[in-house]
Amino acid sequence: MVTENTVEDMDNPQEPETEETTAPELPADLKFLRLLITGLTGTMIVGLVVLIAVIVIRFNDKSLDFPAVLTLPEGVTAEAYTQTRRWQAVVTTDDRILIYSRDTGELTQVIELQSE
């Protein structure tokens, strides 16, 4: 289609109509939901970084070694074992706790447990 431009049209050129696409204003509910999702995302990222840091620190930690040899008295059977930096403890099947020195490996204390 061909249009004719007259002198009048050239003096008052009409600007072409442009549609500006502006985002419509979001309702308050959606703004709040977007804020919550952003906060949750940030929290999850921080939590993941902390979790990875804890795992790395834990695996780099030098824990106490299990003793190579721990001599129990004759006829005693171990039921449980625990240790600290100063002592080692063995819970026996006959309801006793045997405390060993971590430095020397010698039996230092025997605790009798009362069964109910």
* Residue 112, both tokens: 């009798």
pLDDT digits (tens, 9 = 90+) for 30-46: 999 999 999 999 999 99
Q: How far apart are CA 1 and CA 8, in angstroms?
A: 20
pLDDT digits (tens, 9 = 90+) for 51-106: 999 999 888 877 777 777 788 888 899 999 998 889 999 999 988 999 999 888 88
Give the pairing of strands 107-112 and 87-92.
unpaired
Distances (CA, A) of 2 to 5, 16, 49, 67, 75: 10, 17, 66, 99, 113
Q: What pLDDT does residue 114 have?
A: 84
CB 89 within 8 A of CB 81: yes
